[in-house]
Structure 1
């Protein structure tokens, strides 16, 4: 029986899998460029790091 990771790798190597990965990558890049999303990430990072005494 193939492991979940093996099945994911097999799917990622199919044309449909590459299409899904490309779409997810494009969406992630769009979100990373959005100022609102960037501000939320920076705020969360400050709160997380602030709790460690940095």
Structure 2
């Protein structure tokens, strides 16, 4: 599969009713404080967190 066809498939999904529903769901989840806290905790683990030496 070429990158052009993958790009076209992604664009097609984002412009479809299902894609719009998925985007709306993602935005709703991202706005929740509990989700933001989980993402911060994940980022701390991935990046080594504050005060941790690598």
Q: Same fold (TM over 0.5)?
A: yes
Please list every run of at least 4 consecutive aligned residues from structure 1 whose deviation after the TM superposition is greater than 6 angstroms: none
Q: TM-score, normalized by length of structure 2?
A: 0.64
The unaligned stretches of length 5 or more in structure 2 are none
Q: TM-score, normalized by length of structure 1?
A: 0.64
Q: Hey, what's the Cα distance between the residues in 1 that align with 2:7 and 2:42?
A: 30
The unaligned stretches of length 5 or more in structure 1 are none
Q: CA RMSD in A?
A: 3.0
